[in-house]
Amino acid sequence: MTTVTVEIAGSEITFETGRMARQASGAVVVTQGETMILSTATVGRLKDADFLPLTVDVEERMYAAGKIPGSFFKREGRSGEKGTLTARMIDRPLRPLFPKTWRYDTHLVTVTMSVDHEHPYDILAMNGASAALMISPVPLPNPVGAVRIGKVDGNFVVNPNEQDLLDNCDMDLIVAGTEEAILMVECGANIVSEAEILDALDIAHDAIKKLCAAQHELAAKCGKPKMEVSTAGSVDQDLVAQIQASHGAALEEATSNTDKLELYAAIDAVKDAVVAQYAGDPESETYGEAATAAGKAFDAVEKSTIRQRIAVKKQRPDGRAETQIRPISIEVGVAPRTHGSALFTRGETQAFSVAALGTLKEEMRLDTLGLETKKYYWHHYNFPPFSVGEAGFMRGPKRRDIGHGALAERALVPVIPSIEDFPYTVRVVSDIFESNGSSSMASVCGSSLSLMQAGVPIAAPVAGIAMGLIKEGDDYVVLTDIAGVEDHLGDMDFKVAGTAEGITALQMDIKITGVTFEIMKDALEQAKAARLDILGQMTAVIAAPNEELSEHAPRISKIKIDQSQIGLLIGKGGETIRGLCEEFESQIDVNDDGQVLIYSANGALADALTERIRSMMKEVEVGDEFNGAKVVKTTTFGAFVELAKGTDGLLHISNVSPGKRVDTVEEVLNRGDEINVRVVEVDRERGRIGLRMADDPDVAGKTVEELASVGSGGGGGGGGDRGPRGPRGPREGGREGGGRDRDRGPRGSGRPRHRSGGDEG
């Protein structure tokens, strides 16, 4: 067993090999604190392919955190979002380092063995995958180190703990690179400046150098001999020169097309001519091999032609200037039945983004190894084959879809309101209808627009832009708003999203080792100018979130009641709250603090239910008028009238028909009748509420002070303001006013009726 330890920011990271997974080509256990992962690299058979056959898998095991999976089958299924994103972060910096002609099946696997909820496993997995390759026969030229930089309480922290990342981190920056250069950046931030990003990258690179040195030490101690890389399948440079001479001019003309589909069609036509000329007789035995060689040589000529034109001649394929953004078209409210929708088109890239609002019970529950257990905002991204003019299968989201969706989600998180301010679950979906570069950044713009159109009070609009780089020798050019061909043939894909004030998300992949901090600084400044331009065009269409939600969106009202009134709202066995939900076709949630959330299909129902709950919770006062109050019981001495759920007052028989004397209440009123009454007496000590008819000349138009001298007649009112929850005390008073609880028989003078059953809720 061989062990190497390196200290990063006061915490030890240990690389160990020789104890586990010894049949893999390379296996390393990486430990920090009590977080432990196993990374393996395995070389398989040689493949007859013209691409790098590299597969990366991250297997999250719930036992690592002492959990049992929450699925029906109680075992892990396909990788979750965290595992998928970690696999992408392992793949992206390592893939460019493999030899160009490496054609052996290569499989990198990370298995989580222990997670301590302090040291995130993703950083260890990235370092472990590189270390496993370094001690394996794979001829990787350099190790890759990875580190996280957080901005916690205003200070940069190297590899912050998981709780800080969740609670009070203004920047979560993951950086991977070699000793010489940074290769990959992934960042989510709470609106930070470009200068802060550059400072954090500088700090990260110092730590990366230490991690790379530790991997070199491990490889020196126990690394296996490296396999020789076959030159078979490499590009024939003599053939490249011949094709350049014979078809260079035709290729120059073909690559001058500004329309994407016309460009690709023209390039394919030249390629067909090249293959026809240099592959020989299609019937010959050597045709297949010759056609492949001619195709590879042509691809090299195409790449050189386009790169030279951009970097040296400063001519982009579609004729734009290096800082020019493609034409932008913006529409909002495209889909009438959705809660919020937008169609964002930039050149030949088009994103249709839709925001959907739901109740807090529709949150996304997370069954993961992390501390976060639920999300109230998330973003999904879909990339159908038709968006690039292809026919293909649609079998659910691919890793790319998950990665782009996570990037767009990260870009918008800092501006999404808290659930305290906006108690809705929010899901945004971006469907890519056309794509020719930077569809993820188009989805950021479209999603920001759809949220504003839906009436979600985001703090500020967010826009995104993708930057590129073409570097030929000492000549280079940073490109704004890269198209597909510039991404494919370029040296950098640098996506930046943010508000007018700063950056909220960043993703960078670099394919070469010669990118300096000066180039990155230029790219960030150029991206800021483009972002502000796009934000200006967005705000010209919709400047701020709509003040009203869509008529099709659920209405959520929020009120606060006293904790002692929760039982009153819920009622005995939940009868009160169920009755309200049925009557108003709504949903009511109440927490232990007295926070009440009302979910209704429309605003009218929400307002009516809110007013009903307020009236139930309100203490009845002299002078209050109740219209449409229901008679719930008649007696020989009067009628009990329900003023609110659980609160009745007594309308004495002498007042049921103002100015007239009646022998029985039933001559005028019956149970179920709705009448208008006014409160003229409240005796809280004895639980009496006295009522008079609202149109009684003795009370109509009278002030509260004047009502005090009117009285309720018949010795006072009965019924009851419920008062505080809890067990009833001894009843008082016998039968002074003839009061009677309608549910329980005679109750003296009308003590408060706890219809909720006391302590329910």
Annotated binding-site residue numbers for Mg(2+) = 487, 493
Query: Which helix (DSSP H) or strand (DSSP E) does residue 633 occupy?
Result: strand 625-634
- Three-state DSSP class for 76? coil
Give the span between the Cα atoms of 695 and 709, in whole angstroms: 17
**Burial status of residue 226 (CB atoms within 10 A of its CB: 0-12, 13-18, 19 or more):** middle
Q: How far apart are CA 268 and CA 302, in angstroms?
A: 11
Phi, psi (degrees; rounded to nearest 5) at 516: -90, 165
Structure tokens at 539: 């705000």
Task: Give the whole-angstrom CA distance, residue 755 versus residue 116.
Answer: 49
Amino acid at 296: K
Q: Are 629 and 641 in contact (CB under 8 A)?
A: yes
Beta bridge partners of 253: none
For helices 399-412 and 81-94, angle between their N-to-C axes, nearest 10 degrees = 100
Q: SS3 of 74, please?
A: coil
The set of residues, in sequence order, having a beta carbon less than 8 Å from that of 443 and lying 6+ positions away, is 344, 351, 353, 379, 381, 404, 405, 408, 430, 432
The owner of tokens 């091999």 is 289
Say how many C-beta atoms besides its own lie within 10 A of residue 496's C-beta: 28
Alpha helices, DSSP H, located in 413-468: 439-454
Angle between helices 81-94 and 121-135 (to 10 degrees): 40
**Cα–Cα dist 314/321, whole Å:** 8
The residues that bridge with 590 in the sheet, in sequence order, are 596
Rounded CA gap, 156 and 169, in Å? 10
Helical spans, DSSP H, in 279-379: 287-311
As a dihedral over the C-alpha atoms of residue 41, residue 43, residue 47, residue 49, rounded to 10 degrees, the angle is 30
Residue type for 525, please?
A: E
d(CA 127, CA 118): 17
Question: Are the CB atoms for 302 and 251 separated by under 8 Å?
Answer: yes
* 482, 437 contact by CB (below 8 A): yes
Residues placed in the known binding site: 487, 493
* Amino acid code (one letter) for 655: N
C-alpha 486/C-alpha 437 separation (Å) is 8
Q: How far apart are CA 426 and CA 416, in angstroms?
A: 9
Tell me how far CA of residue 522 lies from CA of 61, 526, 643, in angstroms: 42, 6, 70
For the packed helices 399-412 and 439-454, what is the interaxial angle rounded to 10 degrees? Answer: 50
Contacts of 200 (CB under 8 A, 6+ apart): 149, 151, 156, 171, 173, 175
| Helices 517-541 and 439-454, packing angle to 10 deg | 40
- 521-533 exposure pattern, b = at least 16 Cβ within 10 A, e = fewer: ebbbebbbebbeb
**Neighbour tally for 389: CB within 10 Å:** 12
Distance CA 40, CA 29 (A): 9
Q: How far is 694 from 697, CA to CA, in rounded Å?
A: 8
CA 195 – CA 171 distance, rounded (Å): 13
- CA distances in angstroms from 546 to 542, 549, 601, 634, 757, listed in the order given: 8, 7, 19, 51, 44
| Residue given tokens 């959330």 in the structure block | 597
